[in-house]
Homo-oligomer: A and B are copies of this chain.
Amino acid sequence: MKIVRIEDLTGGEREVISPAGWTSFRFLLKSDNMGFSMHETVFPPGLEVQMWYKNHLEAVYCYQGTGEITDLETDEKHDIKPGTLYALDKHDRHILKAHTELRLVCTFNPPVTGREIHDKDGAYALPEQNEES
């Protein structure tokens, strides 16, 4: 059994502070051998980020804050509030915007290694692609 506490991640290499403005706490990564990774991501009020996880499936559960997600495949907008989950089951290009601070629990399949950064498309590369670069 592994116990991971947010206060133990804060300030370490598993606290990823993006230049875009979000912060992600990597509770579980590929090396934890769960077959998925699990993060908590904090989106500050007003932040708007375009993403496209070409290589991963991601599900995001909001437990705090309000915002909206725009599905760039359809241009539909959906409200995000506590108790809303969105699943990018088709590697959907999207924009996430926070109205108030969003606290999001995110699961990725395949698991991320922790070394990924968003590329120009807003994607995370797979480990093999990282190793080539």
Contacts and interface: CB of A to CB of B under 8 A. Distances in A.
A7 interface: yes
Given A78-B3, A92-B1, A59 B85 contact: no
Contact of A57 (B34, B40, B61, B84): B34
Contact of A63 (B38, B89, B103): B103
11 contacts: A1-B88, A1-B94, A2-B86, A2-B87, A3-B69, A3-B84, A27-B59, A34-B107, A35-B35, A38-B61, A63-B63
Interface of A: 1-7, 27-28, 32-36, 38, 40, 57, 59, 61, 63-64, 69, 71, 73, 78, 83-90, 92, 94, 103, 105, 107, 109
